[in-house]
Amino acid sequence: MAPISLSEHLATQQATQGPHAPGVATIVGRLSRVAAVIARELAHAALRDRLGYVGGINVSGDEVKKLDIWGHEVVEAALRATGACAAFVSEEAKEPIEMATEGANPLVVCCDPVDGSSNLDVNGSVGTIFGIRAADGKTPAASAALGPGTRQLAAGYVMYGPATTLVYTVGHGTHGFTLDQPSGEFRLTYPDIRIPRRGKIYGINEGNAHTWHPGQRAFVEHLKTPDKASGRPYSLRYSGAMVGDVHRTLLDGGLFMYPADWSDPQKPKAKLRLLYEVAPMGMVVEQAGGRASTGLERVLDVVATEYHQRASVILGSPDDVAMADEFYRR
Ligand code: FBP
């Protein structure tokens, strides 16, 4: 018997949620259908002149790829068509996009339509990341996206790799699905993912080591120091796309880290965006039994005051992240 489909799984999860459950199911369902479209487009991008830059930079100062914009547009159109999304906070739009809704309990979606853009032109793995919150009658609705990540009702990502995998949580465990290309359906292949307490792998851009907090530097040195009893040294794996590194970490354990630049200790500068990268991944990992920290506090307690705010992130196996926090405290 074929594993259950995402839409069937979403239906089973509704009982565990409050009044926003139907809207959350509608939006996750619609994002999964967009993901199938994006997966197809990625597979043919080189044949359709869709690789490369459009010219110009986005609100985060990144050069924008053609697929970044295309990805943003298909996600925006899909969210608008649900009637359940009151606002869309996107990496590719400076200002949030307010939308007309039908029915009660509208939602706000924060999304990185194409994560890992630097991998696009080299056929590396990329992804889509999303976090969903209640609009709570706020005006503008997008302002309901601000506040701590604990306010997220649901979060997840899609990884476009050899297979297309969707992983999501509505606060009752984290579950993974694989796209069955012929039917376009996602089917449950990783039910109730539990991250190992400790891992053997860490993912970080070591090229930034000179900018790290002293605790971060000491922690990575510790991971690289041979010690049979504690399974060190850990191996380094880094895909260059947060989704790819988080997905590996969720299944195999260990750590994904993108710490802030502490060159000026008074003003640490992070890279990854809180609302549509770090907070959604924090919820996904915590619901799988893992931990997500900035080094100084729990990621989901970080209060967003701006839509494109950045945050440092150390996530993965709970014992490994706890150790990192300890090194930051020293
Ligand atoms: P975008 O591609 O969506 O801007 O995401 C940022 C990102 O590509 C992450 O996916 C990845 O973890 C990180 O930046 C890689 O950064 P760097 O090239 O500095 O290591």
Closest C-alpha to ligand 1, atom 8: 116
Q: What is the pTM of this model?
A: 0.97
* SS3 (DSSP) at 310: strand
Q: What is the pLDDT of residue 57?
A: 78
Q: What is the pLDDT of residue 1?
A: 79
Length of the chain: 330
- What digits encode the pLDDT tens for the residues 22-35? 999 999 999 999 99
Residue 16: band (very low, low, confident or very high) from pLDDT cuts 50, 70, 90? confident
From 258, 275, 276, 313, give the residue whose CB has the most ligand 1 atoms within 8 Å, as the site to mutate: 258
Strand pairing category for 107-115 and 85-90:
parallel
Look at the alpha carbons of 326, 327, 328, 330 in this order and tell me if their dihedral is positive or negative.
positive
159 pocket-lining for ligand 1 (C-beta < 6 Å):
no
Q: Residue 202: enclosing H or E segment and its boundaries?
A: strand 201-203
Nearest in space to 147 (alpha carbons), one of 184, 103, 110: 110
118 pocket-lining for ligand 1 (C-beta < 6 Å):
yes
Q: Report the alpha-carbon distance of residue 324 to residue 130 in Å, rounded.
A: 26
- What digits encode the pLDDT tens for the residues 94-106? 999 999 999 889 9
Residue 64: band (very low, low, confident or very high) from pLDDT cuts 50, 70, 90? confident
240 pocket-lining for ligand 1 (C-beta < 6 Å):
yes
Closest C-alpha to ligand 1, atom 3: 115
Closest C-alpha to ligand 1, atom 12: 242
- Determine the distance separating the centroid of ligand 1 and the alpha carbon of 123, expressed in angstroms: 15
- What digits encode the pLDDT tens for the residues 105-129? 999 999 999 999 999 999 999 999 9
205 pocket-lining for ligand 1 (C-beta < 6 Å):
yes
Residue 15: band (very low, low, confident or very high) from pLDDT cuts 50, 70, 90? confident
242 pocket-lining for ligand 1 (C-beta < 6 Å):
yes
Q: Residue 119: enclosing H or E segment and its boundaries?
A: none
Q: What is the pLDDT of residue 35?
A: 98
Indicate if the pLDDT at residue 85 is higher than 80: yes
Nearest in space to 60 (alpha carbons), one of 327, 320, 308: 308
173 pocket-lining for ligand 1 (C-beta < 6 Å):
no
Look at the alpha carbons of 274, 277, 280, 281 in this order and tell me if their dihedral is positive or negative.
negative
* SS3 (DSSP) at 74: helix
- What digits encode the pLDDT tens for the residues 133-149? 999 999 999 999 999 99
Please compute the mean of the pLDDT values over residues 52-70 and round it to a whole number.
Answer: 83
- What digits encode the pLDDT tens for the residues 182-213? 999 999 999 999 999 999 999 999 999 999 99
Nearest in space to 129 (alpha carbons), one of 293, 279, 269, 249: 279
| Sequence-ordered list of residues with C-beta below 8 angstroms from that of 322, at least 6 positions apart, any chain | 291
